[in-house]
Amino acid sequence: MSSHLIAAQTRAVTKSFGSGTSRIEVLHDVNLNTYESEILMLLGPSGCGKTTLISIIAGTLTPDRGEVTVLGQELHKMSKAAITKFRARNVGFIFQQFNLIPTITCEENACVPLLIQGMSMSRALPHAREMLAQVGLQEHMKKRPNQLSGGQQQRVAIARALVHKPRLIICDEPTAALDAENGRMVMELFRSLIRQPGRCALVVTHDHRILHFADRIATMNDGKIIESVPTEEFDFEHHQ
């Protein structure tokens, strides 16, 4: 299943927040590999540093020390502007909070990554509608986010993150607000999108219902990766 080519890698990544005596190191020398064509799920208790780590891989947060290589690009050697441009083209980030724009429709929300890349709204809309249909929202495209349920809003956020067919899909608890059926739909969509070479998905989750969609499962605790194994080697009973 995995070609074992590395898609994203962190080496000895360290990150602290705060300053002076209230400075706290939340990532300690984190080494993590994600491989092409793989869905990697990242598990770990609240506060252990999952969101911090995936934000560093996505390029939205800079580590204090360490190396981050994503799709062959060494982010630690790139300027902020170059990282922003790289991220806009190659990364689809699904936030824990959906971050939808409340004043525009769902289809307009789903266009945003394409607009950022300079596409016109009229050219972007068909792509947005296609992706919204793939997450089962064809009936709701003209509504504003507050006219939808939490699970539907989460699917709009997913469609928006995927509309530009990013090579790296990163999502922070993508199925938290979804029922089993929609959770499965979203994981199957990820699977179909990463089938092309050079793509992968990194998914933070607490949701044991979707763990079997992973190719590899990494476990984090207290700012460190403590295990990263193929799903068939993962000890499900121990982690219930």
Ligand X SMILES: Nc1ncnc2c1ncn2[C@@H]1O[C@H](COP(=O)(O)OP(=O)(O)O)[C@@H](O)[C@H]1O
52 binds, among ligand X, Mg ion, none (CB under 5 to 8 A by kind): ligand X
26 binds, among Mg ion, ligand X, none (CB under 5 to 8 A by kind): ligand X
Q: What does the block give as tokens for 63?
A: 């580590």
Angle formed by the axes of helices 121-134 and 150-162, nearest 10°: 130
Picking from 114, 108, 159, the residue whose alpha carbon sits closest to that of residue 133 is 159
| 51 or 175: CB nearest ligand X | 51
| 18 or 72: CB nearest ligand X | 18
Shortest Å distance, C-beta 204 to Mg ion: 6
Shortest Å distance, C-beta 172 to Mg ion: 6
3-state helix, strand, coil in the chain (%, to 5): 40, 25, 35
Q: What does the block give as tokens for 87?
A: 């991220």
What is the phi/psi pair of residue 199, to 5°?
-120, 155
219 in contact with Mg ion (CB under 5 A): no
DSSP string, 62-94: --SEEEEEETTEEGGGS-HHHHHHHHHHHEEEE
| 42 or 168: CB nearest Mg ion | 42
| 18 or 197: CB nearest ligand X | 18
17 binds, among Mg ion, ligand X, none (CB under 5 to 8 A by kind): ligand X
- Which region among 48-56, 57-65, 76-84, 117-125 touches Mg ion (by CB under 5 A)? 48-56
Q: Could you tell me which residues come within 8 angstroms of residue 55 by beta carbon, excluding any fewer than 6 positions away?
A: 61
- Which region among 51-59, 71-79, 130-138, 185-193 touches Mg ion (by CB under 5 A)? 51-59
Shortest Å distance, C-beta 17 to ligand X: 3
- Binders of Mg ion in range 178-207 (CB under 5 A): none
Q: Interface residues with Mg ion (CB under 5 A)?
A: 51
